[in-house]
Amino acid sequence: MPKGYWVSVYPTITDPEALDVYNERAGLAVAAAGGRVLASIGSRVDAHEAGIAERVVLIEFDSFEKAVAARASAAYQEALAELPDGFERDFRIIEGLD
């Protein structure tokens, strides 16, 4: 069964401390859903074309369905409510190839 992945790219982070509560709650929600963080804060980025060398987060789940369910979970929805106003990111859930 192909794995599922959350891919988040943060174009600009003007106030990293404003994300502290979200990061804590999101981390707990991801762990509870069986997600494994493969790349996150502090990971090196070599951006090309329209890429932006900012924070990229990559999280792996056992399946695409589990990744989608984790995003819909009550715990993650509570984390999302903690994102500051005007916050921007590019978030996708993708299915792995195998």
Flag whether pLDDT at 21 surpasses 90. yes
pLDDT, tens digit (0-9, with 9 covering 90-100), for 36-88: 999 987 788 898 998 888 889 999 999 999 999 999 999 999 999 998 887 88
Beta bridge partners of 57: 8
Distance CA 17, CA 20 (A): 5
Class in CATH terms, 4-95: alpha beta
Burial of residue 88 (number of CB atoms within 10 Å: 0-12, 13-18, 19+): exposed
- Using the 8-state DSSP alphabet, how is residue 18 labeled? G
